[in-house]
Amino acid sequence: MKLILKPFYFLILLVFTSPALLAQQQIINSQPVLSQALITQATSDIPAEDSQQNQTKQTLGPLDVISLIGSPEHLTGIQLIENRFRIDHYVDEIVMVFFRKYGSAPVILIRPDGSKLYAPTIDESEGQWYDDLTYDMVRLKNPMVGPWQVVGRIDSNSKIMVLSDIQLQAQPFPELMFSGEIIKLTASLLNAGKPVEYADFSDVVSLDVTFASTNNNEYENFAADAVKVAQFKDDGQGFDKKRKDSIFTGEFRLNIASGEWLPSLFLDLGLFNRELTLNPVVLQPNPFDLQIESALEDNQLHNLKITPNTDLIDFSTFAFSGEVFYPTGESQRFAISEDSEPEKHFMLFNYGAGTYKIKLSAFGKDINGRDLMIHVPEFTFNIAPIVVEPEPIVDLEAQLAQQNMQSLPEAEPEPEMSAGQITLIVVLGNLTVFILAFVFIKFGFMAKTPFWKKISFNKLKFKSKKKADKTTPAEEKNTEVNDFSSETDDIIDLTLPEET
């Protein structure tokens, strides 16, 4: 009976407690960091092409979520390193945006004392927590000082923004920038609007400038790695005016691909760090094209031609300074002044075959009148050596023989035979062959004594007479015997008479 009542009591308890849990959940997320109206407005322009896209229609990207927080134009934050971050005692309020894999569970925050903070159980007095399909946004008031840890499947786009008296500020980048341009930047670390005094606990403070790709497939830098373009030191050297005055000044060259980039600044003082994320910028390609017109003769010069490849600059205001390196190892500095011509030229010495390298810097204005300093990528061209064909060796004997052949009178061509003559020759030849064949058969095979035996006998008899003249008396007897036998062979006829 007790076994039956226990499940019954459990069901009754679940019925009475579930409304309270639902009400508590509604109170927790009743006023999220991002209101549903803002999310709907941001995602209303996203087309829904199929059912799967309908499910992810309200999924926002990193830049979309950050832009809806209502924070200042430039975001001051704490860098997230291996799912860990540190909150210092200067922080009054912190906003954390953790991007994670689609459909994964909300993250878990672990306080410095080891206690955990969950999305459903956060107290309203401590902050607010809003979780979506792809991100968590948490706002904490007066957070616990010390190292925090995040547990979850988060990615590198996550941001931690702080609202405190200590802020990292910087001048915004120009709206129009070019690849290869030299940019000057000034940043400062302020505490309640005044420079932070850190000379007592820090020897050299450095500020890192990083450009990260926005992964926009419409630009050349799609899927490019983040690039640290510069590192400034508050050491009073270079462009920095004063040592340890919390103001960082320097310039750097944008030797990165053109495209859409997200710049950020990071400063670490040991006790605390700050990261400043600036607005995305679009880097235009280098605005110049270099061409070379090679010399055709040894006494001519090479012509370097510089032309603009965009209308975003005022080419008439540009002057150029450069250096050319010749194949012989020599170098030459040159300058081209500004003029109104559509292209600029410079003549280079012709040192023959080899590799020529040109380094060039440009100084002028863009279409908005802003002064520009642009480094043009190194230009290289090659001149191939001239191949001299050797003179042919004159064969005097062959030349004399050819001359002699030309001096001889040409032989008269043999008269050509007509068709009738050729036919007559063929008929006579066939008739001759037929007569010879008839004689051979008639007097050879059909005769009693073939004619070739008679011809052979006469030859032998003729030879034997000659031999008899030269033989000795002893040999004459043998010869007479042989002759007698031969004559006897000729006289005796052993053939039978034909029957009648």
Q: Which amino acid is at 94?
A: I
For the chain, the straight-line distance linking the first and the last C-alpha, in angstroms and rounded, comes to 155
Q: Which candidate, 410, 300, 317, 428, places its Cα nearest to that of 366?
A: 317
Residue 459: per-residue pLDDT: 54
Residue 390: per-residue pLDDT: 66
* Strand 127-131 relative to strand 288-293, pairing: unpaired
Residue 22: per-residue pLDDT: 35
With beta carbons less than 8 A apart as the criterion, state whether 93 and 163 touch.
yes
- 149 & 89 share domain: yes
Residue 233: per-residue pLDDT: 85
- 193 & 110 share domain: no
Q: Quick check: is 5 in a domain? A: no
Q: How many domains does the chain have?
A: 3
pLDDT in tens, 412-471: 566 667 788 888 888 888 888 888 888 777 777 777 777 666 665 555 555 555 555 555
More confident residue, 409 or 406: 406
With beta carbons less than 8 A apart as the criterion, state whether 249 and 275 touch.
no
- 183 & 147 share domain: no
Q: Quick check: is 101 in a domain? A: yes
- Percentage of the residues of the chain whose pLDDT score is greater than 70: 66
CA dist., res. 277 & res. 212, Å (int): 10
More confident residue, 242 or 282: 282
The predicted model gives 115-132 an average pLDDT of 87
Most confident segment among 14-28, 122-136, 153-167, 248-262 = 248-262
How far is the CA of 363 from the CAs of 179, 223, 287, 290, 322, in angstroms?
A: 14, 32, 12, 16, 11
More confident residue, 17 or 267: 267
Q: Quick check: is 50 in a domain? A: no
Q: How confident is the model at residue 31 (pLDDT cuts 50, 70, 90)?
A: very low
SS3 of the chain: the string is CHHHHHHHHHHHHHHHHHHHHHHHHHHHCCCCCCCHHHHHHHHCCCCCCCHHHHHCCCCCCHHHHHHCCCCCCCEEECCCECCEEEECCCEEEEEEEEEECCCCCCCEEECCCCCEECCCCCCCCCEEEEECCCEEEEEEECCCCEEEEEECCECCCCEEEEEECEEEEECCCCCCEECCEEEEEEEEEEECCEECCCCCCCCCCEEEEEEEECCCCCCCCCCCCCEEEEEEECECCCCCCCECCCEEEEEEECCCCCEEEEEEEEEECCCCEEEEECCCEEEECCCEEEEEECCCCCCCCEEEEEEECCCCEEEEEEEEEEEEECCCCCEEEEEECCCCCCCEEEEECCCCCEEEEEEEEEEEEECCCCEEEEEEEEEEEEECCCCCCCCCCCCHHHHHHHHHHHHCCCCCCCCCCCHHHHHHHHHHHHHHHHHHHHHHHHHHHCCCCCHHHHHHHHHHHHHHHHHHHHCCHHHHHHHHHHHHHHHHHHHCCCCCCCCC
pLDDT in tens, 214-262: 999 999 999 999 999 999 888 888 888 888 888 889 899 999 999 999 9
- 149 & 175 share domain: no
Residue at token pair 């005016």: 241
Last residue in a domain, options 164, 183, 217: 164
CA dist., res. 248 & res. 235, Å (int): 9
CATH assignment at residue 200: 2.60.40.1930
CATH assignment at residue 130: 2.60.120
- 214 & 305 share domain: no
- Percentage of the residues of the chain whose pLDDT score is greater than 90: 33
Q: Quick check: is 158 in a domain? A: yes
Q: Quick check: is 131 in a domain? A: yes
- 241 & 350 share domain: no
Query: Per-residue pLDDT for 481 more than 60?
Result: no
How far is the CA of 148 from the CAs of 76, 137, 145, 264, 358, in angstroms?
A: 18, 16, 9, 22, 53
Token pair listed for 164: 């405190």
Give residues with Cβ within 8 angstroms of 29, minimum separation 6: 128, 129, 130
Q: Which amino acid is at 84?
A: R
CATH assignment at residue 373: 2.60.40.10
Count CB-CB contacts under 10 A for residue 286: 19
Last residue in a domain, options 268, 284, 300: 284
Q: How confident is the model at residue 26 (pLDDT cuts 50, 70, 90)?
A: very low
CA dist., res. 280 & res. 261, Å (int): 6
Token pair listed for 380: 């290289």
Residue 429: per-residue pLDDT: 86
Over the chain, what is the mean pLDDT?
76
Query: CA dihedral in degrees (44, 47, 52, 55; nearest 10)?
Result: 0
- 307 & 375 share domain: yes
Query: Per-residue pLDDT for 48 more than 50?
Result: no
Q: Quick check: is 423 in a domain? A: no
The predicted model gives 291-299 an average pLDDT of 89
Last residue in a domain, options 284, 300, 325: 284
Q: Which domain holds residue 100?
A: 36-42+58-164
Residue 76: per-residue pLDDT: 63
- 269 & 338 share domain: no
More confident residue, 47 or 417: 417
Residue 24: per-residue pLDDT: 33
Residue 290: per-residue pLDDT: 96
Residue 256: per-residue pLDDT: 95
Q: Quick check: is 10 in a domain? A: no
pLDDT in tens, 142-187: 899 999 999 988 877 777 766 567 788 898 999 999 999 999 999 9
With beta carbons less than 8 A apart as the criterion, state whether 276 and 74 touch.
yes
∠ CA 30-80-256, nearest 5°, is: 115
- 96 & 191 share domain: no
- 117 & 188 share domain: no
With beta carbons less than 8 A apart as the criterion, state whether 97 and 65 touch.
yes
Q: Which candidate, 115, 152, 111, places its Cα nearest to that of 131?
A: 152
The predicted model gives 118-122 an average pLDDT of 87
Residue 458: per-residue pLDDT: 53
- 190 & 224 share domain: yes
Q: Which of 35-39, 216-220, 325-329, 438-442 has the lowest mean pLDDT?
A: 35-39
- 180 & 140 share domain: no
pLDDT in tens, 51-104: 343 443 344 444 444 444 444 444 466 777 778 888 888 788 887 888 888 888
Q: Quick check: is 449 in a domain? A: no
